[in-house]
Amino acid sequence: MSDSPLEARLAQYLTLTFAERDALRWLERRERALPAGEILIREGEATDRLYIVARGWLHGSVKLKDGGRQILRFYFVGDISTTFSIAWGQSAATLQAVSDTQLFEIEKDAFGRLFRNHPRLGALLFAVSTSEQVAMADRLTSIGRTDGVTRIATLLLDIRSRLRVVDGLDGSVFSLPLTQQDLGDAVGLTKTHVNRSLKALEATGLVERQGRVIRINDVERLAEMVDFKDRHGSVATDWLPPPVARSDMDHTG
Amino acid sequence: MSDSPLEARLAQYLTLTFAERDALRWLERRERALPAGEILIREGEATDRLYIVARGWLHGSVKLKDGGRQILRFYFVGDISTTFSIAWGQSAATLQAVSDTQLFEIEKDAFGRLFRNHPRLGALLFAVSTSEQVAMADRLTSIGRTDGVTRIATLLLDIRSRLRVVDGLDGSVFSLPLTQQDLGDAVGLTKTHVNRSLKALEATGLVERQGRVIRINDVERLAEMVDFKDRHGSVATDWLPPPVARSDMDHTG
DNA sequence: CGACGGGTTGATCGGTCTCAACGGGGGTGG
DNA sequence: CCACCCCCGTTGAGACCGATCAACCCGTCG
pLDDT at B211: 87
* Phi and psi angles of residue B34, each rounded to the nearest 5 degrees, phi first: -140, 110
**Shortest CA distance from A151: residue in chain B:** B144
Burial class (CB in 10 A: 0-12, 13-18, 19+), B196: middle
Interface of B with A in 154-173 (CB under 8 A): none
**B144 CA to D9 C1', in Å?**
26
Q: What does the pLDDT average to over A197-226?
A: 94
Backbone φ/ψ region at B69: left (φ over 0), alpha (ψ -120 to 50), beta: beta
Question: pLDDT tens, A115-149?
Answer: 999 999 999 999 999 999 999 999 999 999 999 99
Q: What does the angle CA B134 – CA A121 – CA A30 come to, to the nearest 5 degrees?
A: 75
pLDDT at A118: 97
pLDDT at B167: 65
Q: Is the pLDDT of residue A22 over 90?
A: yes
Backbone φ/ψ region at A56: left (φ over 0), alpha (ψ -120 to 50), beta: left
pLDDT at A1: 46
Q: Is the pLDDT of residue A23 over 80?
A: yes
Q: What does the pLDDT average to over B63-83?
A: 95
If pLDDT is split at 50, 70 and 90, which confidence band does B253 have? very low
Question: pLDDT tens, A77-119?
Answer: 999 999 999 999 999 999 999 999 999 999 999 999 999 999 9
Q: What does the pLDDT average to over B28-41?
A: 94
The distance of A227 to chain B (nearest Cα, Å) reads 7
**Nucleotide showing the shortest C1' distance to residue B178 CA:** D8
**Shortest CA distance from A252: residue in chain B:** B241
Question: pLDDT tens, A219-230?
Answer: 999 999 999 998
Q: Is the pLDDT of residue A252 over 60?
A: no
Answer whether B8 touches A (CB < 8 Å). no
Put simply, the answer to whether A137 touches B235 (Cβ < 8 Å) is: no
Taking each helix axis as running N to C, give the angle between helix B191-204 and helix B180-187, from 0 to 180 degrees, rounded to the nearest 10.
90
Is the CB atom of residue A147 positioned under 7 angstroms from any atom of strand D?
Answer: yes
Q: Is the pLDDT of residue B1 over 50?
A: no
Q: What is the mean pLDDT of chain B?
A: 92
Put simply, the answer to whether B139 touches A141 (Cβ < 8 Å) is: no
Answer whether A236 touches B (CB < 8 Å). yes
**Nucleotide showing the shortest C1' distance to residue B211 CA:** D9
Is the CB atom of residue B199 positioned under 7 angstroms from any atom of strand D?
Answer: yes
Among A20, A43, A116, A132, the strongest candidate for a mutation testing the B interface, having the largest count of B CBs within 10 A, is A116
**A31-40, A183-192, B228-237, B239-248: the lowest-pLDDT one:** B239-248
Q: Is the pLDDT of residue B44 over 70?
A: yes
Answer whether A116 touches B (CB < 8 Å). yes
Q: Is the pLDDT of residue B71 over 80?
A: yes
pLDDT at A253: 45
- Identity of the residue in A87, A239, A241 whose CB atom sits nearest the CB atom of B131: A87
Q: Is the pLDDT of residue B245 over 90?
A: no
Q: Is the pLDDT of residue B233 over 80?
A: no
If pLDDT is split at 50, 70 and 90, which confidence band does B169 have? low
Residue B166 to residues A249, B75, B78, B251, Cα–Cα distance (Å):
40, 11, 7, 27
Chain A residues within 8 A of B108 when measuring between CB atoms: 236, 238-239
Question: pLDDT tens, A37-57?
Answer: 999 999 999 999 999 999 999
Torsion B126-A114-B89-B7 (CA) sign: positive
Q: What does the pLDDT average to over B231-248?
A: 84
Q: Is the pLDDT of residue B48 over 90?
A: yes
Q: What does the pLDDT average to over B189-205?
A: 96
Among A13, A238, A239, the strongest candidate for a mutation testing the B interface, having the largest count of B CBs within 10 A, is A239
- Identity of the residue in A107, A112, A145 whose CB atom sits nearest the CB atom of B240: A112
pLDDT at A234: 84
- Per DSSP, the three-state class of B74 is strand
Q: What does the pLDDT average to over A190-196?
A: 97
**A161 CA to D16 C1', in Å?**
33
If pLDDT is split at 50, 70 and 90, which confidence band does B168 have? low
Q: What does the angle CA B123 – CA B129 – CA B130 come to, to the nearest 5 degrees?
A: 90
Name the DSSP letter for residue B24.
Answer: H
List residue ranges whose Cβ is under 7 angstroms from nucleic strand C: A 179-181, 191-192, 195-196, 198-199, 209, 212; B 147-149, 188-190, 192-193, 197
Interface of B with A in 128-157 (CB under 8 A): 128-134, 136-137, 139-141, 143-145
Which domains does chain A show, CATH number per domain? 1-137 (2.60.120.10), 146-232 (1.10.10.10)
**A212 CA to D17 C1', in Å?**
26
Cβ neighbours of residue A141 under 8 Å, at least 6 residues apart?
A: B62, B64, B70, B72
Exposure of B249 in the CB half-sphere (CA atoms within 13 A): 11
The distance of A2 to chain B (nearest Cα, Å) reads 27
Chain D positions under 7 Å from a protein CB?
Answer: 7-13, 17-22
